Amino acid sequence: MRPVLIGLCGGSGSGKSTVTEQLYANTGSERCTVIRQDNYYKDQSHLSFEDRQKTNYDHPFAFDNDLFIEHLKLLREGKSVDMPEYDFSVHNRKKETIRLEPKDIILIEGILLFSEPRILELLDMRIFVDTDSDVRILRRIKRDMKERARSLDSVIDQYMATVRPAHLQFVEPSKRYADIIVPEGGYNKVALDLIQTKVDHILNSRKK
């Protein structure tokens, strides 16, 4: 049987990583793998650091979706891929890659999954993590300052200039394509339990 592809979408700071990590932990690494759209930002080695800083990382054009979709199709066919790594402190891809092996369940996480028709066609289940904007910006500030070496002013400036407009233009409208909407930023235990029950049902049906 081919792998089951589950897409997890939502705005930056919505909690989709929390949902993804919980599903991965509960399902187990032997039967589940994770691929993230953030790893597929375009290579920008031809640009200076100053120019890379000007890129709108919340717009669909920032992603190498051709490579991303190629890798999704390969995983779906049961083949391994070498997923790029991205260094957010320098706004560019690393030289290293991460080897991903196909598993029964493939969790696909990203802010713009549902705004790309070619990705939507590949997904067997679509989950949208929905969180209020004030919570999302606070989470983004905390994450970017701690994990991506950003200043408070730069995070706020980026949010107002690109993140919020892109969310309203691309992310929020794509919610209508979801099969399941998880409110409260990934901390809705009832929703998570229901999703896990569905995943377990898929896995159990493959044992027969």
pLDDT of residue 80: 97
Question: Radius of gyration (Cα) for the chain, nearest Å?
Answer: 17
Contact 70, 145 (CB under 8 A): no
pLDDT of residue 131: 85
pLDDT of residue 138: 87
pLDDT of residue 208: 55
**pTM for this entry:** 0.89
In the structure encoding, which two tokens stand for residue 44, read together? 């920008």
Strands 32-36 and 105-109, by their bridges, are parallel
- pLDDT tens digits, one per residue of 55-95: 888 899 999 999 999 999 999 999 999 999 998 888 889 99
Q: What is the mean pLDDT of residues 123-129?
A: 96
pLDDT of residue 159: 84
Binding positions for ATP are 10-17
Distance separating alpha carbons of residues 84 and 144, to the nearest angstrom? 20
Neighbours of 193 (CB within 10 A): 11
**Domain ranges within the chain, ordered by starting residue:** 4-197
Binding positions are 10-17
Q: What is the mean pLDDT of residues 112-128?
A: 96
Contact 8, 124 (CB under 8 A): no
Intra-chain end-to-end CA distance of the chain, in Å: 12
Distance separating alpha carbons of residues 131 and 147, to the nearest angstrom? 21
pLDDT of residue 156: 87
pLDDT of residue 185: 66
Share of the chain above pLDDT 70, in %: 98
Indicate the pLDDT class of residue 163, thresholds 50, 70 and 90.
confident
- pLDDT tens digits, one per residue of 177-205: 999 999 876 678 899 999 999 999 989 98
Enter the CATH code of domain 4-197: 3.40.50.300
